[in-house]
Amino acid sequence: MPSNAVQLPPLSLYIHIPWCVQKCPYCDFNSHALKGEVPHQEYVDHLLADLDADLPLAGGRSISTIFIGGGTPSLLSAEAMQRLLDGVRARIPVADDAEITMEANPGTVEADRFSGYQRAGVNRISIGVQSFSHQKLERLGRIHGPEEAKRAAQLATGLGLRSFNLDLMHGLPDQSLEEALDDLRQAIALNPPHLSWYQLTIEPNTLFGSRPPPLPDDDALWDIFQQGHELLTAAGYQQYETSAYAKPGYQCRHNLNYWRFGDYLGIGCGAHGKLTFSNGRIVRTEKTKHPRGFMQGNYMAKQHEVAMADRPFEFFMNRFRLLEAAPRDEFRIYTGLDESAIRPQLDQALAKGYLTENADRWQITEHGKLFLNSLLELFLADE
């Protein structure tokens, strides 16, 4: 094996469903408000054709996790989901115990459809709640109410799925500390195995980007984070990533694979992929964003090889979002680079107190978490 050969990491599959009922003002994801009916059958045909074209990139590996994101994947009919997942399984081996997640909005969670998704193979639902306040949901452009969110969580509990997640945001327009904690308390009361709790950020190219609402200041955000973190910890949730909390054993395996610098095929409008080859090449792919172009059969928009110089940053950008220790040998195994290539940067990170190091692992410190961007900048390639 040449010295730059790498070990192939686990392989996941991401599937993008681009439609929503309406576009939220904070959303910069590749989503498109529906005009008319979702082209269920036609889109599934294109997704499977896109996967066919990508199969050579998979190198004969099996899929360990699948994540169906959007948009609002729960706009896809249960029949279409069955055809999609059957089609995936017919084309590429999917592990028997694969985690198969689907994102859903509370307003599109109907009980009969969900048992249909479950029959198709979905065993984990991620429900986009965002808030339990009517007023905040309206400000966020969400089309569901608090009761629908609670009903969706109760439904997920009753289905006996492997797991489910509630997505919750904090730092909302004009949100007080008490309002933010009240949202968390209501989420915790529904007892989801997994909670994603992330801060609203204003992105360019969104409605909020052009007309920013008044948001809590940094001190208020810090109070929300600290007291919210205490609430979650007391309720038995462990933080394992910047904005992800789980009961023991319920971490999202798909996202863990991203953060551990694993590989993933990305199919569907605007989906991204990362693939490692046994000769040491690492390729990133991006699919055509707009449904119109994608559904003319133009799937691959661009692909590029990850240069050796860029690999340290890309590896750590993912790895240091996780709170778990990073095994030192994984750097060499997954990037094909010797640790000596980044020794000066590591020594700086250690001297600044961002990391600790022992014989076999690196651990990000509390200080390092606070200065994550400064830590990652150490590993940026010189232009």
Q: How far apart are CA 346 and CA 354, in angstroms?
A: 9
- Domains in the chain, CATH or no CATH each: 11-257 (3.80.30.20), 323-383 (no CATH)
**Can you give the pLDDT at residue 379?**
97
| The token pair that represents 323 in the structure block | 């709170």
**Burial of residue 213, with CB atoms counted within 10 A of its CB: 0-12 exposed, 13-18 middle, 19 or more buried:** middle
Torsion on CA atoms 290, 122, 9, 334, rounded to nearest 10:
60
Q: How far apart are CA 261 and CA 311, in angstroms?
A: 10
274-310 pLDDT, tens per residue? Answer: 999 999 999 999 999 999 999 999 999 999 999 999 9
Record the pTM: 0.95
Q: In the block, which residue shows the tokens 């006996």?
A: 160
- Residues counted in the chain: 383
Q: Which residues of 259-288 are buried (b: 16+ CB within 10 A; e: fewer)?
A: bbbbbbbbbbbbbebbbbeeebebebbebb
Chunk the chain into consecutive blocks of 10 residues (it has 383) and report each block's average pLDDT, rounded to whole numbers. Answer: 68 96 87 85 97 96 97 92 98 98 83 87 96 95 90 92 97 97 98 97 92 94 97 98 96 98 98 96 97 96 97 96 96 96 98 98 95 96 76
* 232 contacts 187 by C-beta, under 8 angstroms: no
Say how many C-beta atoms besides its own lie within 10 A of residue 353's C-beta.
12
**Can you give the pLDDT at residue 2?**
42
Q: How far apart are CA 121 and CA 98, in angstroms?
A: 9
**Can you give the pLDDT at residue 5?**
61
* 294 contacts 287 by C-beta, under 8 angstroms: yes
**Can you give the pLDDT at residue 34?**
81
| The token pair that represents 87 in the structure block | 């089609």
> How big is the CA angle at 374 (ends 368 and 378), to the nearest 5 degrees?
105
Q: In the block, which residue shows the tokens 């029949």?
A: 79
Alpha helix positions (H), 128-176: 134-139, 146-159
Q: Which residues of 31-64 are buried (b: 16+ CB within 10 A; e: fewer)?
A: bbebeeebebeebbebbbebbeebeebbeebebb
Under DSSP, the state recorded for 76 is S
